Amino acid sequence: MANKNTVMHEKNLQTVSAQQRVLQVAVKAGTYAFLVVMALIVLFPFYWMIISSLKSLEEYRLNIPTFWPKVIILQNYAEAFTAANLGRLFLNTAYVGIVSTILSLVITVLSAFAFARLEFKGRELMFAALLATMMIPGELFTITNYATVNALGWMKSFEALIIPFLVSVFYIYLLRQNFMQIPNELYLAAKVDGCSDLKYLWKVMIPLALPTLISITILKMMGAWNSYVWPRLVANDDAHRLITNGLRNAFTATTGDVNYPVQMAAVAIVSAPLFMVFIFLRKYIMKGVSRSGIKG
């Protein structure tokens, strides 16, 4: 009798184990199916952009859309580059992005170091007030920034594109959290050895926080590359126009018709650098954000 009960118990365990395995396989299959569907939803607009950039205008306007060009027209890319004057737009955007990134990094590093290591009266209160500004919608700053830039006579200039957004509270917070993870004993030992604050920052803290600094650099450059509303408000002339604004009406004919395949080709050209940044530098973005932690 005891042997029979043991056999029945083992069979029940095997049945439960088999059911658990089937359930695990079903859950995993459902998870992968969901991820595949979401990936297709995310990637389809980019696929549509590429195939549209290779079509003729007549094919693009067909009532029944084609999911692959009947005739691949690479000439759209050459026409897009010349029609939108992409060379000048690239130079303007690169200049604004590089200068604003360098200046923003200097401000961010010095501010984060002060809030993380220097002892001064009201430090925590000042940092809390700085963080509180993150709760204010960015659109509200646009009004005051526009009035300030107009009063200073910076309209239609690179100063208007660079200076108003040099300070980023989020970047300061991100880097400050990373600096807080560096043991304070290193700072005290450096002070005993007669090391100045700037030398300690340059020799110790910046190398240790390099992944976060790389992340900030990438995010700042991408922000400058994708900026649209502010450049359109303050510097939409030919000499200072950035790449996002330059694509807005560059392919609209005098009759009002838009050459959509050529416009899609221009968008693909503009998007290519961002794709390259994401593909080759995504690990630095994730590493920099993960190293910032939540200490504070």
According to the model, what pLDDT value does residue 152 have? 92
Instruction: Identify whether residues 46 and 100 lie together within a single domain.
Output: no
| Chain centre distance of CA 23 | 38
> Which own/partner pairs from 152-157 qualify as long-range (CB within 8 Å, at least 24 positions apart)?
154/234, 155/234, 155/235, 156/234, 156/235, 156/236, 156/237, 156/239, 156/240, 157/235, 157/240
Whether pTM > 0.85 for this model: the answer is: no
Count of domains forming the chain: 2
Average pLDDT over residues 104-108: 94
Instruction: Identify whether residues 235 and 198 lie together within a single domain.
Output: yes
Do residues 84 and 252 make contact, with C-beta atoms less than 8 angstroms apart? no
Nearest to residue 242, comparing CAs of 89, 101, 83?
89
Instruction: Identify whether residues 163 and 39 lie together within a single domain.
Output: no
Residue 42 lies in a domain: yes
Distance CA 150, CA 241 (A): 17
- Cα-Cα-Cα-Cα torsion 38, 39, 40, 43, nearest 10 degrees, comes to 130
pLDDT digits (tens, 9 = 90+) for 42-87: 999 999 999 999 998 888 888 888 888 888 888 989 888 888 788 8
Instruction: Identify whether residues 121 and 175 lie together within a single domain.
Output: yes
- Residue 2: is its pLDDT beyond 60? no
Which CATH number belongs to the domain containing residue 275 in this structure? 1.10.3720.10
- Residue 291: is its pLDDT beyond 80? no
Residue 63 lies in a domain: no
Instruction: Identify whether residues 19 and 144 lie together within a single domain.
Output: no
Residue-number span of the structural domain to which 248 is assigned: 75-292
Residue 65 lies in a domain: no
According to the model, what pLDDT value does residue 218 have? 86
- Residue 278: is its pLDDT beyond 50? yes
Residue 201 lies in a domain: yes
pLDDT digits (tens, 9 = 90+) for 241-276: 888 888 877 777 666 677 888 888 988 888 888 888
- Residue 108: is its pLDDT beyond 60? yes
Instruction: Identify whether residues 37 and 91 lie together within a single domain.
Output: no
Distance CA 98, CA 53 (A): 29
Residue 69 lies in a domain: no
More confident residue, 293 or 84: 84
Nearest to residue 142, comparing CAs of 223, 241, 231, 246?
231
Average pLDDT over residues 7-29: 72
According to the model, what pLDDT value does residue 294 have? 45
According to the model, what pLDDT value does residue 277 have? 78
According to the model, what pLDDT value does residue 9 have? 56
Dihedral sign for Cα atoms in the order 169, 170, 173, 176: negative
Per-residue confidence at 11, pLDDT binned at 50, 70, 90?
low
Residue 205 lies in a domain: yes
Helices 260-292, 86-116: axis angle to 10 degrees equals 10
Instruction: Identify whether residues 178 and 271 lie together within a single domain.
Output: yes
Instruction: Identify whether residues 224 and 168 lie together within a single domain.
Output: yes
Instruction: Identify whether residues 127 and 253 lie together within a single domain.
Output: yes
Instruction: Identify whether residues 219 and 152 lie together within a single domain.
Output: yes
Q: What is the CA radius of gyration of the chain?
A: 27
- Residue 105: is its pLDDT beyond 80? yes
According to the model, what pLDDT value does residue 31 have? 92
- Sequence-separated (6 or more) residues with CB below 8 Å from residue 125: none
Residue 70 lies in a domain: no
Average pLDDT over residues 155-184: 89
Instruction: Identify whether residues 16 and 120 lie together within a single domain.
Output: no
Weakest-pLDDT range from 36-40, 157-161, 238-242:
238-242
Phi, psi angle pair for 252, to nearest 5°: -95, 125
According to the model, what pLDDT value does residue 241 have? 87
Residue 183 lies in a domain: yes
Instruction: Identify whether residues 131 and 231 lie together within a single domain.
Output: yes
- Residue 221: is its pLDDT beyond 80? yes
According to the model, what pLDDT value does residue 103 have? 94
